[in-house]
Chains A and B, each alone.
Chain A
Amino acid sequence: EVQLVESGGGLVQPGGSLRLSCVASGFTFSKNEMTWVRQAPGKGLQWVSTISGGGGTTYYADSVKDRFTIVRDNSNSILYLEMRSLRGEDTAFYFCAKDMGRRGYNFDYWGQGTLVTVSS
């Protein structure tokens, strides 16, 4: 059974940093692109970042480029999102999601999400 479990969220002050983790199980982690998607409370979904299976290629939304870094540890099946210079607009639930490996991006499994609150 595929499982994705995020952790690392919490309250952080503007300008602060946080690292989110997503522990994956139930599939061959290194074979799938992985993505972070966020959702501000009561709002829609926003794609944040995607990393290739080997970790060598990364993509970012303009709103987080140069502030967030997506990394993966294929040995331990863990996906990370390193966030710095956090802003109020980064407040959201952050979901990690597995791509199903078809054309385009299609996220067939999601974690339960971890809440990041940026506030003083």
Chain B
Amino acid sequence: QSALTQPASVSGSPGQSITLSCTRTNIDGDYNLFSWYQQHPGSAPKLLIFEGSQRPSGISDRFSASQSKYAASLTISGLQAEDEADYFCSVYVGSSASVAFGGGTRLTVL
């Protein structure tokens, strides 16, 4: 079973850049395709990044991401108050055609 580890919380000031990490443990499956979601309190998650670094249409280019085989990172540049939210990484597990989610990182904008 794949597991994804994220720091529980991070914080930054408006205008700063901040990077969130996501580390995969337990090699399982052939795919290593990370996605990132943003979730504001009381709302559904929103897809920010797919296939490791691709942004869906409508997502600000302030959000960028990269990945290696066993880890992924999401960078938010020009931090804004509206970026305060929970961020979840996920990875497709090919061997079981399932998805593993990280525990989420709460981003606080100071």
Question: What residues of chain A have their CB less than 8 Å away from a CB belonging to chain B?
Answer: 35, 37, 44-47, 50, 59, 61, 95, 100, 102-108, 110-113
Contacts and interface: CB of A to CB of B under 8 A. Distances in A.
B96 A106 contact: no
A117 B43 CA distance: 18
A50 B102 contact: no
Interface in B45-85: 45-47, 50-51, 54, 56
Given A47-B101, A50-B99, A110-B44, 5 more contacts: A37-B101, A45-B104, A50-B97, A50-B98, A103-B51
B21 interface: no
B18 interface: no
B109 interface: no
Contacts of A112: 43-44
Contacts, number: 70
Contact of B102 (A44, A105, A111): A44
Nearest to B49: A106
A100 to B, nearest CB: 7
6 contacts: A44-B103, A95-B45, A103-B31, A105-B90, A108-B50, A110-B44
Looking at A37, A45, A104, A111, which has the most chain B CB atoms within 10 Å of its CB? A104
B104 A44 contact: yes
Interface residues of B, number: 26
B88 A106 contact: no
A108 B102 contact: no
A37 B102 CA distance: 13
B101 A104 contact: no
Given A105-B92, A108-B56, A45 B45 contact: yes
A97 B90 CA distance: 14
Contacts of B31: 103-104
Nearest to A62: B1
Contacts of B103: 44
Interface in B1-55: 31, 33, 35, 37, 43-47, 50-51, 54
B94 to A, nearest CB: 8
A56 B37 CA distance: 28
